[in-house]
Structure 1
């Protein structure tokens, strides 16, 4: 019997070691799916914040750059953008879409959401231009040319900020334009001209610069133009209120403002 005892102890130790292997493996990052697991954390150990930001379509390119810069300097925060016309974003907010911050292309839309947002801050301004095909083949020089019935002109719908701005400057000069279509956001207007489905359209200056090989921008004099303002605000339904407020505040920082200026946006 004394000869078998060491063998039994060795066998028991081996069995215990075998049982501990899978338990140790459950201690890695994949264990967050288990009941009672802690939230995902950043490298510093702080809880990670994943923000959803609803943003006007005209911010598509610049916010992708800004988002990457923000994530680099704020490793504990991830940013997901949802781009659409400001009126569509407002509808999403009113319907309770899960999001943390909102940036519109006009103060009017943001003003209609006072019950849903924090105090908005203007982060940028923009101006309108006439977008034409590269080389401006129809020789469009000014707003009056858009009334030519031979031209296919596309505008944003009047409930869209850029559509409302367009209507304002055309009405001010008593110019009647019969658009072939009215689009849900400024990027859709730009796309129609890019694809040759329209001869011209009114867009923001910054949108025209995103397609330099396909689009020419005809400047509209300041006296005939409209200034678009971009307010940013947190949403009261945010589950990451502190992180959302930090991102909105960052949009007015020198780093973010340089990114906006480099993309052609004007100072707030």
Structure 2
């Protein structure tokens, strides 16, 4: 059996690593196989005493440890919504660097959570159920909703959010008006495909009507710089509501908090024999 790695991008916030470990433990139990929680970058800067005394592990040290322990067939299960350059560039480059120093091993990578063109309808289920927890999908009044994500300069990553938004709009029906926004985008018209910044879109909706609430559908996996308590989204929400008294902005739970995510990840393990090899045997 291959050795499985559940990999996220990494964050300097402990909450992100705690959630990665929780998901890896749940996936290990579901698959009856150990799944190692590993971040590609950043999390090794978190003090170990913020993580119950266990330092977070990033990709290169994790690969070296696992291969040195005798693991020769490794499979990465990405905790990414779309085809990030972290997966297409950083992972192969890191694996090739490690491969030059150690005994032969192979590394395969599973698709991201929402591989296009087929997409992942179960993610749409999760987004809808998370919105329902805010009351947004239950009201008979017309709803104003925003699907918000980190934002990416890569059109293929933005296409994933658009695919999910289109399907979510279909599920919600004509009683909902679903828009899209990002927390980061590059300047210039060549990046207009990425969508507006959340603060700008919230401000426009507030100017249209500050008496009608807005609900945010959070396309995030873990709490970090943008999502979660004290993150940029919470601060943006407070600023906009302060500028527009009467406006209420509700925030859905994160995708990573929904139990259905483990079902999707488990599917990747069950199909692991299909995923492409991204580094040759080394030695």
Give the alignment's TM-score, normalised by structure 1: 0.34
TM-score (normalizing by structure 2): 0.33
| Greater share of strand | 1
Relative contact order, CA 8 A, sep 6+: which one is greater?
Answer: 1
* Greater radius of gyration (CA): 1
